[in-house]
Amino acid sequence: MNTTSIISSPFQLFSFSELIKQKNINNYFLIVLIYNEFELIQIKNLASSLDVKIHKTIIGQKVFQYFLIRKLIRKLKNIDIVIIGNFFSDPHLVFVNEIKNTKIIVLDDGLNSNFILNSLGKKNYPIFKLLFIILFKFNLDFPKNFSIFTMFDLKSNNRNIIIEKNQLLNTKQKIENFSHKDFTLIIGQPFVELSILNRNFYVSLIDKLNKQFPNLVYIPSRKENDTTLNSMRQNININILRTDINIEHYLLQNKIIPKTILGFTSTALVSIDKIFNKAQVNIDIKSVRLSEKSIKENRPKLGMNYSFYKHYKLLDDFKIKSLKNV
């Protein structure tokens, strides 16, 4: 069977790798859809580590991606299975809707998989976007029949939506001869870059954690920019480690187990717990919880409306411990 997939992040690539190995899929065509070169570097490094071949790369802004995807699909023939990495991404939806009469599989894209089943239905668009998709006949609707390949314990009451469990078997097989190290790792997130939190507040927050946890190593998100990191370097005596692959595989490659891993709402808190702690490798994993007051006071005036508490609730459901009063 001919399988075509589109992914846009290292985590989606990680999920794709587990899928093709779990289902013994050898004949596939993988498309990487990204916005900048740095994201591509990280994805290519991870693909090499996972022994996954990338066949096509599309780089550019979203509106141009629509047309490039349509052009590419017209060249592809006899597609039986379509795999998308992000259920909520418009370019991914263009991709899946341009291909007719195929089996559709949706991969994990961070914690977003947990929101899919409650997000189905008719979508509302701003007027300019609606005119654009009508004019050029793009379909951005959610698919109605699909499978979700997920490491999360989802349950579907919709007979048209099938849950397929990602057992993480390929990744777990790599856990052997690991050494525990006495340091704390904190997983950063691009709250500043996405206008969710002010830079000064975020840097001061990392400073407090650095004082509370000895031997702290900060792992930036691939979307964090040098301005934020330089502000940390200037104001905090902290080790910053920018990895060229996702954190899960960085730990696997280097066979390192930190004593503690901190994060905010990162999916990596859950995936590391499922990969390592379920394999009896004990890491103390904690989610740093911000108060409603501190979030409100430190959100930019035109900041993005990001729901910390929706993500905190999910992390509670996955039994990730919380760190409060930072």
pLDDT at 93: 95
**264 contacts 201 by C-beta, under 8 angstroms:** no
Domain regions of the chain by residue span = 3-171, 174-323
Q: Do domains 3-171 and 174-323 have the same CATH topology?
A: yes
pLDDT at 281: 74
Intra-chain end-to-end CA distance of the chain, in Å: 52
Model confidence pLDDT, tens digit, residues 239-286: 999 988 889 989 988 888 899 999 999 999 999 998 887 666 789 999
pLDDT at 262: 98
Which residues in the chain come in under a pLDDT of 70? Answer: 1, 278-280
CATH number of 3-171: 3.40.50
pLDDT at 173: 83
Strands (E), the chain: 3-7, 28-34, 56-59, 81-84, 103-107, 146-150, 161-165, 179-187, 216-219, 239-240, 256-263, 284-288, 321-323
**198 contacts 300 by C-beta, under 8 angstroms:** yes
pTM of the predicted model as reported, rounded to 2 decimal places: 0.89
Question: Out of 3.40.1710, 3.30.750, 1.20.120, 3.40.50, which CATH number does the structure's domain 174-323 have?
Answer: 3.40.50
Cα–Cα distance between 163 and 145 in angstroms, integer?
Answer: 12
pLDDT at 27: 92
